[in-house]
Structure 1
Amino acid sequence: MTAARIRSTVTGDASSSAHARPQAPRGGSRLPSVSIALGTLSIASFWVFGLGFVLGVSAVVCGALATSRSGVADDEPASLRALLGVVAGVAGITVSAIALFPVLEYL
């Protein structure tokens, strides 16, 4: 070990160490990813009576909640994932509604 590294270990001053790196915050919000997953499932399951609609609404709610959080709003990739989840949820709602209209006359 070098003298500077020993000194920084003893004093607790990690700024003088050459190997000290700032740690990125971990454990970000999972809501943007959940929103995308629910939106994708809502588009894929539009043909199941009502399931695509419910999953689409859930995707929109998760995406809206995610964008309202400050941690997601400051993180551009997470914000874009949340927006993509909202768009996928709206698409799932739309496709489910279009598939539901012809069935309504038989109910």
Structure 2
Amino acid sequence: MTAVVPHGPRADNGVCSSVDGNEIGRQHGSRLPAVSIALGALSVASFWVVGLGFLWGVGAVICGAVATSRSAVAEHEAASLRALLGVVIGVAGITVSAIALFPMLAEL
């Protein structure tokens, strides 16, 4: 069975009235803030692997910085805060990886 959904400019006869064009656009925003958080979490979790935590952290900072520069993210406060959180977690991963790397370098 199929449903008929009108596609006109004033198609408001009770069918799918909760979904409009603007709401769909907001749902499919940038995924870079989420990627930045995920890379930052990976960088903190893998700080003990030589160089890997550092690389994940750099990726998190880059994704977060690119995400904050996009207008779709800058206009949406929650996405902007997620991108900033990704940058902060990425910097934390870089810092922890660098601190863990110093004793390993002393052994070489």
TM-score range, shorter chain: 0.7 to 0.9
RMSD: 1.7
Q: Which has the larger radius of gyration?
A: 1
Equivalent residue, structure 1, for 2:51:
50
What one-letter code is carried by the residue in structure 2 that aligns with 1:89? G
**Using the alignment, how far apart are the partners of 1:54 and 1:40 within structure 2?**
12
Residue 29 in structure 1 maps to residue 30 in structure 2: yes
Match of 2:100 in 1: 99
Deviation at 1:18, TM superposition (A): 4.5
TM-superposed deviation, 1:34: 0.3
Cα distance 1:28–1:104, how it changes in 2: closer, same or farther (>3 A)? same
Equivalent residues in 2 for 1:1-107, closer than 5 Å: 13-15=10-12, 17-19=13-15, 20-21=17-18, 22-23=20-21, 24=23, 25=25, 26-107=27-108
Shift of 1:14: 2.1
Unaligned runs of 5+ in 2: 1-5
Aligned residues: 97
CA drift of 1:105 comes to 1.7
Q: Relative to 1, partners in 2 of residues 1:12 and 1:33: Cα closer, same or farther, differing over 3 Å?
A: closer
* SS of 2:107 mapped into structure 1: coil
TM-score (norm 1): 0.82
Summarize deviations over 1:49-89 as a string: whole Å, max 9, x none: 00000000000000000000000000111111100000000
Structure 1 residues 29 and 12: CA distance shift in structure 2, 3 A: closer
Helix, strand or coil at the partner of 1:14? coil
Q: Percent identity?
A: 66
TM-score normalized by the length of structure 2:
0.82
